[in-house]
Amino acid sequence: MNLAVKDIRHNLGRFALTTLGVGMLLMVVMGMGGIYRGIVEDATLLIDRVGADLWIVQRSTRGPFAELSRVNPNLVYRARSVPGVQDTREFVYHTIQREREGKPLRIAVLGLSWPTDKGEWLPLVSGRVLAQNHFEMIADQTLGLALHERIRLGKETYTVVGLTTGMISSGGDGIAFFTVSDAQAIQFDTSGEAVRLERESRRSRGERSGLGAKQPTLLDQAARPSQEIAAIGRPQISAVMVTAAPGANVDDIARTISGWGDVSVFTADGQRELLLKGSVEKIRRQIGLFRSLLTIIAAIIMALILYTLTLDKIHSIALLKLIGAPNTVILGLILQQALVLGVLGFGIAYAIGQRLFPMFPRRVILTHSDLLQLGAIVLGISIASSILGIWKALRVSPNEALS
């Protein structure tokens, strides 16, 4: 006869509620670790999926994911001429917020270097890749957009031709994929009145400079759209992605490009490291602190629960000692209950978490290594928390059974 099982059956309702409470607490601890993994995965998602060997960004900046970066579009052709470079692609990335059906809609806009990059690397769940240079988009499912839905961004209307899954920005926003030209049109969209005022401002500056009096036709040129004026270049892009040729030394290519005075260059691992040591680092420390505090709280609560259960069995423990039961029997009773409490609590945490975590606004990723680590921690907590109850049980005198 197992005394621990018999005692649990005797107080089944109380033990079940206690186990459920411990399980919910462990679920929060488990969720904290999963949220951290999700944040890291979201932060490095694009770097890992895009597959670029090098990232060329604005000089003295840390790349388009860490801060604002602006480089000239002709950098694509400059980088392509470097020995060892197989391919270069434009990269445009920014975040917008619009209103849809009365609710705010935040979209992380990423420009694909069409037609080189049509989005073939995206994990499509329905629809297709981009087939034309304008007015098409691929959206992540978290944005809530339907396939073939039309959405107006700026002055143009775009059709959702494909849906992806798991494409989330480091800020937790769903990513929508456009061509570079469309992404820039969305980013630099201005109202008609702002465009008119800018043209009038250019004309006014030309008249004040005296150049307009010498060459009146220049004033007519100033009133034309910006993209039609030869002296005004194309909108700048966020970065240039470089793919090295097979067998080429990536470090040699990076050293060559880093000698240019207007840009900085990072490897994919370097860009990932910058992200993890930047904005993600503070979040990691904060979640780690909360996780540690919750683990300590779980240990204290389990210790108090087992101590209370031991107090309820003081008379029974004294009676066992009176009839000559060895201390190992009493120790086994308390330790086995602690282990059952910890194992069942961990199982409840995992089962409920599998149902609730997909509903969280941020991704919660549970890895096998994290689950094994938490399982070992719970096992250690169960053993450690039983010490208080064991200490109380060993101090019980057999004479208390006669009182």
**Tens of pLDDT along 160-188?**
999 999 888 877 889 999 999 899 889 88
One domain, residues 143 and 102:
yes
Q: Write down the pLDDT at residue 314.
A: 67
C-alpha to C-alpha distances, 271 to 26, 47, 89, 137, nearest whole angstrom:
34, 8, 17, 26
Using CA of residue 151, residue 152, residue 154, residue 156, what is the dihedral sign? positive
Quick check: 212 pLDDT over 70? no
Average pLDDT over residues 240-255: 90
77-116 per-position pLDDT tens digit: 999 999 999 999 999 998 899 888 888 899 999 999 888 8
226-241 per-position pLDDT tens digit: 555 655 557 788 899 9
One domain, residues 133 and 115:
yes
Quick check: 268 pLDDT over 60? yes
One domain, residues 15 and 52:
no
Specify the range with the lowest mean pLDDT, choosing from 133-142, 169-178, 239-248, 323-332.
323-332
Examine the fold and report which residue of 217, 252, 278 is the final residue of a domain before the chain moves on.
278
> What's the structural domain count of the chain?
2
**Phi, then psi, of 152 in degrees rounded to 5:** -95, 125
Q: Write down the pLDDT at residue 159.
A: 95
One domain, residues 291 and 263:
no
One domain, residues 102 and 201:
yes
C-alpha to C-alpha distances, 334 to 40, 152, 237, 265, 279, nearest whole angstrom:
40, 65, 66, 61, 46
Q: Write down the pLDDT at residue 386.
A: 78
Quick check: 304 pLDDT over 90? no
Average pLDDT over residues 151-160: 91
Average pLDDT over residues 18-43: 86
Residue 291 domain boundaries:
3-42+280-401
- 10 Å Cβ neighbour count for 88? 23
